[in-house]
Amino acid sequence: MGEKTGTYPGAAGSAVEADRPSHVRNVVLVGHSGSGKTTLVEALALATGAVNRAGRVEDGSALSDYDEIEHRQQRSVQLSLVPVGWAGIKINLLDAPGYADFVGELRAGLRAADAALFVVSAAEGTEGITGATRMVWEECAAVGMPRAIVITHLEAARADFDEMTEACRTAFGADSPESILPLYLPLHGPASPDGHHSVAGLIGLLSQRVFDYSSGERAETAPGPDQLPLIEEARNRLIEGIIAESEDETLMDRYLGGEEIDVKTLVEDLERAVARGSFHPVLAAAPAPEGARQGLGTVEILELVTGGFPTPLERAAPTVTTPDGRARAPLACDPAGPLAAEVIKTSSDPYVGRISLVRVFSGTLRPDETVHVSGHGLADRGHEDHDVDERVGALSSPFGKQQRQLGQAVAGDIACVAKLTHAETGDTLSAKGDPLLMEPWQMPDPLLPVAIQAHSKADEDKLSQGLARLVAEDPTMRLEQNQHTHQVVLWCLGEAHRDVALERLRTRYGVRVDTVPHKVSLRETFGAKAGGRGRHVKQSGGHGQYAICEIEVEPLPGGSGIEFVDKVVGGAVPRQFIPSVEKGVRAQAARGIAAGYPLVDIRVTLLDGKAHSVDSSDAAFQTAGALALREAAADTRIHLLEPVAELEVLVSDDYVGAVMSDLSGRRGRVVGTEQSGSGRTLVRAEVPEIEIGRYAVDLRSLSHGTGRFTRRYARHEPMPPQLAERITELDGTEA
C-alpha cells in the first residue's frame, strides 16, 4: 500500500480518541476458532506501541486478560474491542469468537464494523477454511462489506502461502476469483535442519520492495536480482486484477497497449476497489520473535486498514424509525447530527456494574447526558422492549482489563458506556427530545433447550434475577417458563454456549443450577368413544355430598380442544350444577388421566344424572364429573400425543443425503426439497420434537458446520404405542 508508519499521537496508557469520523476505522476479525485472530490483534497492538514487547499494558496485565471464562474454555467466547492508533487513525479492532456457538457475538461485530479481516490458518492447510467461515463471507458479500484475507501461522511446518491463497480463491471467489489476490509474497529465510524454511520478510508486488522482519523490526531494502523474476507473474496478475476493478475505463487499454502504469495510480485504484468491496487482497502474518516489536505483516495490515478500508462516512447507517413506527430520514455519519447509537454488546463488571459497548452512527455521545433508550423487539426471547430515558455514565475505551476514559464518542466511533441499567444488546440510544429506533440486526435462533433448576433454596431465591441479567447480556439466548412442563428452559445455540451461560450464572451472579432432562409438552386423548358414570355420594352425619352424572366421550380431530355438550333431559341434573360437571371434567382433563399429561381433542356429552335436594352441591358435581371422565378412560385406549415440528434445514448439497437419512432415523417425514442458491438445498420435514432436542448440535456435526435449520410447532399427533408405553412407565417410576 502506501508504506506509512507511525503510531497515533498521545501519551502511553491514554485512550485512543478520534475527533472526526474520517479518523476512524472499524474492523472485525473473522475466522474459525484457532485461526489466530486474537494473536493477530495482539501483534497489531504491539506494532502500534499499544503494548510492550512482552505483550503487556502499562499495569502489567496481558491484553487478552479480560475474561476468566475464556481462559478456562481455552477459546474466545465473546466479542472484544481493542482500539489502537496508526498514522493518525484510530482503529477499532473487533475480535469475534470463531466457534459456531457464539455466532451472536460475531453478528454484533459485523454490525459494528465497516470492514472485515478474514483470518485463515496456514497450519491447517485447506481444511482451515471451514464451511462456517464461507457462510460468513457470503453474509458480508450480501451487504457489500469490504473484506481482506490474512493468512496466519506461516511459521508452522508445511505452511504454504501459495496453496492457501489458491484455497481462498476457491472458497471465497467462486464468482470472481481474480478479485482475490496477494499484495505481498513471503520471503523465506535459510532452511532449518529439518528442511523447514522460515518466513523472514515480504516482497511488495506493487512497490517491488523487500520488507525484512528477520531482526524484529521492519526494514525496507531493494530486491536482489534473483528476487524480481520470482514476483513477475504474481505482480502482473495483481495489476490486471486492480485495473479490472478500476473506475478509469481507459486504464485497461493503456495497460494492454504496453504502457507502464505508475505505482501511485495502482495503489489509489486498489484502495478504492477495496473500500467498495469489489477487491479482496490477501496478506500474510506471523508472530514476532521473542522480544521483537513487529511481527511479520503487521505494518502491511495496518497500512491496508488505514489506506484501503472505508471510513464510517462511506458506510450507510441502519434504517431508523421513531419508536412508534414513523419513518425517519436516513442517518448521516455526522458528529453534529441527531444522536443515534446502538448497543452491540452488554456485559457486567463486578466493580463498575453493567457496561454497554456502543457504536455511534450519528451525532456525538457525551458522558453524563440523558439519552433515550428504545427497545429491540425481542420480547419473545425474554428481553423486554424499552422506551425510557437514562443518564449516561462515564465513557471509556476498553484495553485488556482497563477502561480508559473518553471525553466523547463521535459518529463512527465505538465506546463503552457505564451504568445504563435498562439498555440491552440491540437497543438504540438517541436524544431525549428526538427518540429513534434502529432496525435490529438478524439474531440467530437458539435451538438447543437446556432445562435447569436451582441447586439449593438459596440459589432459588437468586435464580430469577440472575437469569434476567444473563439474558440481558445475550440476545441469542431465550428464557422460557414452560407452563405445560413447569420447567425453566434456557434456549442456547449449542453446548459450549450452554456451558458458558451456566458458568456465568455461577461466577458472576452467584447462582448454582442443575440441568435436568428437557421435557416436551405431551398430551393425551381418547382412542375411541367411551362412556363413564361418576358417583360421588357420602353420608357421614350432618350435611352430606350427593352427585351422580353419566357422560359419553368421543375423540375429535387434532387441535379441537375440549367440547362440552349438555343433553340432559327432564332436569335429572339441575341447571345450576351442569357448569359444575363441566368444570370438574375440564379440571380432570388438565391433570391428565393416564400419564399425567393434559387431555385434549375430545367431546364430552352429559347424558344423565341424579341430584339430592339437600346434599347436592357445586363441589359434589365437580367431583362426579372428574370421576366420570376417569371411568370412561378406563374403558378405552388412551393415546399419548407428541408435538411435531416443521423443520426447514438449509444444507450444502454434499450433505443432503446424510441429512435426509438422519431425519428418517428420527421418525421424521421429508415433505420436500428445493434448491436454495448455489450449492445448497432446503429440506422440509416434519419431525417429533422429542427427537430433535439435540439437533442443533447433531446437524452441525453432520454438515461440518454448514447446516442451519428453523423449527416451528405444527401439531400434536399420536405417539407410537411402544414408545408411549415406555414413557408412561418412566413417568410412573418417577412419580
Domain 641-734 has what CATH class?
Answer: alpha beta
CA pair distance 152, 40, nearest whole angstrom: 8
Which of the four pLDDT bands, split at 50, 70 and 90, describes residue 49?
confident
Residue-wise pLDDT for 230-241, tens only, equals 888 999 999 999
Task: Give residue 165's pLDDT.
Answer: 93
Domain at 448-516, CATH homologous superfamily: Elongation Factor G (Translational Gtpase), domain 3 (3.30.70.870)
Mean pLDDT, range 435-452, rounded to an integer: 91
The domain defined by 320-438 folds into: Elongation Factor Tu (Ef-tu); domain 3 (2.40.30)
Task: Give residue 536's pLDDT.
Answer: 95
CA pair distance 678, 656, nearest whole angstrom: 14
Which of the four pLDDT bands, split at 50, 70 and 90, describes residue 9?
very low
CATH of 21-314, one of 3.10.420.10, 3.40.50.10860, 3.40.50.300, 3.30.930.10: 3.40.50.300
Task: Give residue 215's pLDDT.
Answer: 80
CA pair distance 13, 400, nearest whole angstrom: 12
Task: Give residue 443's pLDDT.
Answer: 83
Residue-wise pLDDT for 273-323, tens only, equals 999 999 999 999 987 776 667 889 999 999 999 999 999 999 999 999 998
- Evaluate if residue 735 carries a pLDDT over 50: no
Residue-wise pLDDT for 319-360, tens only, equals 999 988 899 999 999 999 999 999 999 887 766 778 899 999
CB 478, CB 380: distance < 8 Å: yes
Q: Domain locations in the chain?
A: 21-314, 320-438, 448-516, 523-636, 641-734
- Evaluate if residue 55 carries a pLDDT over 60: no
Residue-wise pLDDT for 68-105, tens only, equals 665 555 567 889 999 999 999 999 999 999 888 888 89
One DSSP character per residue, 153-192 reads -TTSTT--HHHHHHHHHHHH-SS-GGGEEESEEEEEEEEP
Residue 544 has a CB neighbour count (10 Å cut-off) of 15
Q: Do domains 21-314 and 320-438 have the same CATH topology?
A: no
Task: Give residue 63's pLDDT.
Answer: 64
Mean pLDDT, range 55-71, rounded to an integer: 59
CB 509, CB 501: distance < 8 Å: no
Cell numbers 453493567 correspond to what residue? 354
Which of the four pLDDT bands, split at 50, 70 and 90, describes residue 542?
low
Which of the four pLDDT bands, split at 50, 70 and 90, describes residue 6?
very low
Mean pLDDT, range 537-563, rounded to an integer: 89
Domain 523-636 has what CATH class?
Answer: alpha beta
CB 547, CB 616: distance < 8 Å: yes
One DSSP character per residue, 658-712 reads HHHHHHHHTT-EEEEEEE-STTEEEEEEEEEGGG-TTHHHHHHHHTTT--EEEEE
Mean pLDDT of the chain: 88
Task: Give residue 195's pLDDT.
Answer: 56
With 0-12 / 13-18 / 19 or more C-beta atoms within 10 angstroms meaning exposed / middle / buried, residue 538 is exposed
Strand order of the β-sheet with 545-555 is: 530-538, 545-555, 602-610, 562-566
Task: Give residue 599's pLDDT.
Answer: 95
Torsion of CA 238, 240, 242, 243, to 10 degrees: 160
